[in-house]
Amino acid sequence: MYKVFVKDIPIILSSKKNIGSQYTSYSLKEVDFNDLIEKILKGELHYVNLFHKNEKKLEKHLRKKLSVVEAAGGLVYNQKKEILFIYRNSKWDLPKGGVEKKETYEDAAIREVEEETGVEGLEIKDFIMKTYHVFKRNDTFKLKITYWYEMYTEFKGELTPQLDEDIKKAKWKNFEKSQKALQDSYENVKLLFPKEYLTTHPKDRIS
């Protein structure tokens, strides 16, 4: 199963035609993806399931629906077990960026994290997952597939946000501050975190 986010609304890709009474199901091979996105953005659809009987072919068929942009980024820890966040477009996010021609996903992830935050000495520990979201560029919907890696660094220098990419802040955040940042982040970013980061004390949710 995959989740493809349109804004923060997930389109479910699965091998099952029926996943719940709330969901409207469409054949992944036959669906007009652009029309589907428009309906979601207009608020006409909230629960969508795209199905194909062969789960291994879900991404293959998804890639045929929209132009694909590939990116890579990192969930970066330091010696204090703090996590590296960036602040852009009024949201807390994780550093990531486009994969260049002939560049590996791992090299792209390290380069982009370094460029966006000024951090150095990154070491990839593990591949986490891919995330999928739809964005609009030049009046055309595109699919961004991001390859995420868990990273570690002993860097203790000053972080420098990449201002020409509209990044306002680059910050290390401890467990508590990471929890708060994730309340003002993207749903696809939240997928990368252990569940305990997404559970906050009830009083913190009282407005």
What residue ranges do the domains of the chain occupy? 2-63, 73-205
Q: Is the pLDDT of residue 177 over 70?
A: yes
Strands 123-137 and 2-6: parallel
Q: Which helix (H) or strand (E) holds 51?
A: strand 48-51
- Cβ-contact 51, 24 below 8 angstroms: no
pLDDT at 207: 41
pLDDT at 206: 43
Q: Is the pLDDT of residue 200 over 90?
A: no
- What tens digit of pLDDT does each residue of 21-74 get? 999 999 999 999 999 999 999 999 999 999 999 999 999 999 999 999 999 999
The rounded distance, in Å, linking the Cα atoms of 148 and 127 is 6
Q: Is the dihedral of CA 22, 25, 28, 33 positive or negative?
A: negative
pLDDT at 199: 74
CATH 3.40.710.10 fits 73-205, yes or no: no
Percent of residues, the chain, with pLDDT higher than 90: 91
DSSP state letter for 37: H
Lowest mean pLDDT among 64-68, 91-95, 106-110, 199-203: 199-203
Identify the CA nearest to 131 among candidates 70, 182, 61, 65: 70
